[in-house]
Structure 1
Amino acid sequence: MGSTSEGDHGFAGVGRRALIKRSAALGLVSVPAMSFLSACASGGGDDTGAGTAEGKTSKGNPFGAKKGSKLDVVVFKGGYGDDYARAWEADFGKKLGITSSHTGTQEITGKLQPRFNAGNPPDIVDDSGAQKINIDVLYKNGQLLDLAEVLDAPSVDDPARKVRDTLIPGTLDPGMQEGKIVALNYIYTVWGLWYSGKLFEEKGWQPPKTWDDFLAICKDAKSQGIGGLAHQGKYPYYINVALMDLIAKKGGLDAMKAIDNLDPKAFVGSDAAQAAAEAVYEVVEKGYLMPGTNGLSHTESQTRWNQYKAAFITCGSWLENEQLKQTPPDFDMKFLPMPPLSGSALPFEAIRAGSGEPFVIPSKAGNLPAAKEFMRRMLSKEWSTLFAKQANSLTILKDGVDPGVRLRPGTQSTVEASKAAGDHTFRYLYTEWYGEMGTALEAASNELMARRIQPKEWLKRCQAAVDKQAKDPASKKNHRD
């Protein structure tokens, strides 16, 4: 997933667009802050790192990052690439005299798990992709730094304000474990359907605003030898964009929170979940899937979609940047909120939106002062703009991109969708809180899309995953009101 997950996160997973004038100027929607029953228990962030490279503190260097020291940076090289991080590192070296060792990879677990186990982790990590190390696992093992010190530090752009006060409301929530922010989800992402403006114009299709309209286009596409819906079959995270969005829209925020809160009727006994499963399964039963999509990776499926072999694809907003080389110049990529089922509680304009691409500082990082300062500068307008230029996406920093940046069509459409959504935004948190459960839900969806199980069995398997997670005493420390 680009950022997402290579599937996950897309986060590979997840989103990028050619930027954004100031988010305020764009009228970017603010994500409502979420309430949690937080309890700071044992485990989690351990601030006693191995960081010995300490220099003198100052207003411009509050953590005492030491000139001449080195910073070990590992970045998930997915949909956003890693050129943005290299640009940051170059600026960091120029301004502070701190050099960086850089690793861009999709093999986060393979490369980093041995280092975490040995007590020799990098200094800062973009822990994303299909092979990410689950944040909840790192937290429970005491391997993540509590980021409160960074978030309470003075902003680079306005030292009179704390860093946390410069961020889009609600964007810190996904990085929370038991009341502590231990991961900084840096990129503001939207999830939903995508289509080609060129193809739709040629076929005379109008962007669907209901699920029935969506099915009608899929049917017409099939009659013309085009797949209706493509999905990244090897990474069922992506089809869960459709399933989970439909649940939230059909049943409203209560249906979404029931899943995050491990409700005994989150799936079995949920009319919204049943309706969503049956709706997506109808796409499978009627042969509206792009042929072969169940066996394709994210990039393979997305590239075939770019070749006009399917009308729609599910993804997060990292899609445009991830597919830059494969997208025809006149493709006219467009984002679409998930078309709601009949009788849905949330309107068509409602979108899943929030922060993705979690950056973490290991508690045993060798250069903690530099790692903290690096993260603080990530949340400056200068570095946010650098990211925008390199990765075609918005960050969680309010008013975070210099004006005058030209937006790509997909990016522009996500900005417009965010404005249209207004307060109708939602975001699941089980993906950050319960990695094992999330994997189980994806496995069930994989079976559903392959027609090896039907909706009733999908509901049972999903509920079993929820019930299993609920038996973990630590789960009671995460809750949404």
Structure 2
Amino acid sequence: MASSITGRTPSGTSSRRKFLQQIAAGGIAIGSGSVALSSCAIGGSDDDDDDSGDTAEAPEERSEENPLGIDPEEPVEIHIFDGGFGDAYATDIHQPIFSERWPDVEIDHNAAVDIAGELQTRFAAEDPPDFINNSGDGQMDPGQLVADGLLHDLTELFDAPSWDDPEVPVRDTLRAGTIESGTFDGKPYILNYTFTVFGIWYNKTLMDENGWSVPTTWDEMLDLCAEIADAGIAPWVYQGVTAPRYMNWPLLTMAAKLAGPEVLVAIDNLEEGAWGHEAVREAASAIRSLHEGGYFLDGVEGMEYRDAQGLWARGEAVFCPSGSWIENEEADAIAEDPSFELAVMPEPLLSEDSVMPLETIRATAGEPYIIPADANNPRTGMEYMRAMLSQEGARGFTEMVTSLTSVIGAADGVELAPGLSSAQEALNAAGDNIVNWFYPTWYKEMENPGIDQATGKLLRGDATVDEWVDECEAVAAEIREDDSLLKQNREL
């Protein structure tokens, strides 16, 4: 669903230069692994010291063959997060596509599990690489990077001709919402490359074997949970102590279906009382009813997220909230049972009077890629992005890592795995009825540990719905009242 996004600049903040000096002094870490980036002042910059990533002159003359004006002999340094997708998609697919057109550009390829740990000193020295896959547990806080002027504006990339057709700009090859998902203060700073379909994933094999139908209302869900439990199977898992926030995803999607996407906009905009909206309360009550009915796998509240998901993939439970990456993430567990088949269902309706249809889903671009403002060769970094966004690059990525991309039509004709095929069907069925929210990207700590901890209590039965609402409201208020944070705003 289209929206406009603007930013509100914080007052009383330190300069970007001072921020980098603080990192160099060892007082601040850029990432979730140690001291969070948001613990520092957020940077506006002095007029005579502003190198915040705005568009600079191209070193080479632009042409149809070289629309971004890159130096065809200047090396480019890239860093890929070596996580669920690995890095072979870069070395085996994207880099050969890039090098075929630019054979004299040397690619310095690097892979890392802890991106912040690898690169924070490089940022402090104002000598970051040219291209970064900023993902994983060691992800650098994207909102803070933007606020402190550390990222390059990607407007030129999206306005440039696409890799495959010079008559079509890159922005017109991308799924709706892709650019907006990486936009801060009206400018795009992040390329979100994958396109994730969220929903309730279920063990289709068990459902079919037992003649159980996919529920379309929450009452039907609870009736089915009782039947599943009577059969000696746990109806639900969630991602345990590691990530109870996964259950926020069906909660907020059901709230949006009930009352419309405006409830999500209010939450993103930090409006007072947004978490107490009646639709949000009703969705929270529905989620809590799974605990009240004893419908979670025993002990799940204390499990690590992969342990919980692995038990689901091995047939210990029927339902699991996640995004469409789960098929690739749990590929080893799924492979243990050749008969296992997974599929995704849209969240059930809380009422027949719901504003949005059953087919409504949450779907969004994800897996962020960035160009640092201080990169030595930012234009070649953007050219590498342009190669990634080619039909060949996006199709190869989907085939290798079992994930859709943000490139329109790139999965057409690709033989998709069962789960991803189900996700594609759900996306097609939803049409324009797609919802999303942005607060986890805008205000990283609002989601984790903030709302995450509150939802963990709700799922364990340690908090009532009213107590959950109060805690969520308190988390939002803390962000809202922090004048050091760059505030974002969006409209439908």
| Residue 93 (structure 1) aligns with | 99
Q: Which moved more, 1:85-94 or 1:144-153?
A: 85-94
Q: Is the 8 A contact 1:361 1:371 kept in 2?
A: yes
Counterpart-to-counterpart distance in 2, 1:266 and 1:201? 40
Equivalent residue of 1:479, what SS? strand
2:424 paired with 1:455: no
Find the aligned partners of 2:127 and 2:426 in 1 and give their Cα distance: 43
CA RMSD of aligned residues (A): 2.4
Cα offsets for 1:264-284 (capped at 9, x unmatched) = 11013x111111111111111
Q: Say which of 71, 77, 81 aligns to 1:76.
A: 81
Written as runs of structure 1 = structure 2, the 5 A alignment for 1:318-467 is: 318-327=325-334, 328-342=337-351, 343-401=353-411, 403-439=412-448, 440-467=450-477
| CA-CA distance at 1:148 after TM superposition | 0.4
Q: Please, which runs of 5 or more residues in structure 2 have no aligned partner?
A: 11-43
> Where do residues 55-454 of structure 1 align in structure 2 (5 Å cutoff)?
57-86=62-91, 87-97=93-103, 98-233=105-240, 234-268=242-276, 270-327=277-334, 328-342=337-351, 343-401=353-411, 403-439=412-448, 440-454=450-464
Shift of 1:131: 2.9
| Cα distance per residue 1:188-236 (max 9 Å; x no partner) | 1111100121111112211111112222222222223322111112122
CA contact (8 A) 2:77 2:108 kept: yes
Mapped partners of 1:51, 1:390: distance in 2: 37
Cα distance change, pair 183–134 in 1 and its aligned pair in 2 (3 A): same
Shift of 1:249: 1.8
Counterpart Cα distance in 2 of 1:415 and 1:405: 11
Q: TM-score, normalised by structure 1?
A: 0.87
Q: CA deviation at 1:38?
A: 5.3
The answer on whether the counterparts of 2:81 and 2:133 sit within 8 Å (CA) in structure 1 is: yes
Cα shift at 1:125? 1.5
Q: Which stretch shifts more, 439-448 or 292-301?
A: 292-301
How big is the shift at 1:57? 4.5
Q: Residues of 1 paired with 2:51 and 2:172: CA distance?
A: 22
Tell me the SS of whatever aligns to 2:4: coil
- Secondary structure at 2:367 match in 1: strand
Alpha-carbon distance between aligned partners in 2 of 1:190 and 1:286, rounded to the nearest angstrom: 28
Sort the Cα spacing of 1:213 and 1:105 in 2 relative to 1 into closer, same or farther, 3 A.
Answer: farther
CA deviation string 1:290-328 (max 9, x = no partner) = 122222233222211111001100001111122222213
* 2:34 corresponds to: none
Q: Which amino acid aligns with 1:74?
A: H
SS in 2 for 1:326: helix
| Consecutive unaligned residues in structure 1, runs of 5 or more | 1-31
Contact 1:48 1:364 in 2 (8 A): no
Provide closer, same or farther for how the CA distance between residues 114 and 294 of structure 1 changes in structure 2, counting only shifts above 3 A: farther
Distance 1:45 1:255, change over 3 A: farther
Question: Size of the alignment, in residue pairs?
Answer: 447
Q: Which amino acid is 1:431 matched to? A: P
Task: Name the aligned partner's letter for residue 34 of structure 1.
Answer: S
**Identity in percent:** 36
Structure 1 residue 476: Cα displacement: 4.9
Q: Is the 8 A contact 1:49 1:365 kept in 2?
A: no
Q: Which amino acid in 2 is paired with 1:404?
A: G
AA of the residue aligned to 1:293: V
Q: Greater CA radius of gyration, 1 or 2?
A: 2
Alignment partners' CA distance in 2, 1:175 and 1:443: 26
- Would the alpha carbon gap of residues 138 and 38 (structure 1) be closer, same or farther in structure 2, given more than 3 Å must change? closer
**Which residue does the alignment assign to 2:490?**
479
* Structure 1 residue aligned with 2:16: none
| Contact 1:143–1:363 (8 Å) recurs in 2 | yes
Question: Per-residue CA shift, 1:78-125, capped at 9, x if unaligned?
Answer: 333322122212332343122333333332222233322232222111
Please tell me whether the aligned partners of residues 230 and 290 of structure 1 are also in contact (alpha carbons under 8 angstroms). yes
Give the CA deviation at 1:428: 0.6
Question: SS at 1:267's partner residue?
Answer: helix
Contact 2:7/2:487 (8 A) holds in 1: no
User: What's the CA shift for 1:365?
Assistant: 1.4
Q: CA deviation at 1:55?
A: 5.6
- The answer to whether the Cα contact below 8 Å between 1:45 and 1:144 also exists between their aligned partners in 2 is no
1:349 deviation in Å?
0.8
* 3-state SS, counterpart of residue 5 of structure 2: coil
CA contact (8 A) 1:267 1:462 kept: yes
Alpha-carbon offset, residue 351 of structure 1: 0.3
Counterpart of 1:3 in structure 2 is none
The answer to whether the 8 Å contact 2:202/2:344 transfers is: yes
| Residue 40 of structure 2 is aligned to residue 35 of structure 1 | no
Structure 1: distance between partners of 2:211 and 2:137 = 37
Q: Cα offset for 1:140?
A: 0.9
Shift of 1:39: 6.6
Contact 1:51 1:368 in 2 (8 A): no
Change over 3 Å in CA distance of 1:109–1:235 after alignment to 2? farther
Aligned residue number for residue 23 of structure 2: none
- Which shifted more, 423-432 or 38-47? 38-47
Deviation, 1:381, is 0.9
Per-residue deviation, 1:67: 4.1
Equivalent position amino acid for 2:347 in 1: M
Give CA-to-partner distance per residue, 1:147-198, whole Å, 9 cap, x none: 0011111111111222112212222111011101001111111111001211
CA shift, 1:344, in A, is 2.9
Q: Point out the more displaced range, 39-48 or 351-360.
A: 39-48
Check 1:152–1:196 CA distance in 2 against 1; reply closer, same or farther (3 A cut).
Answer: same
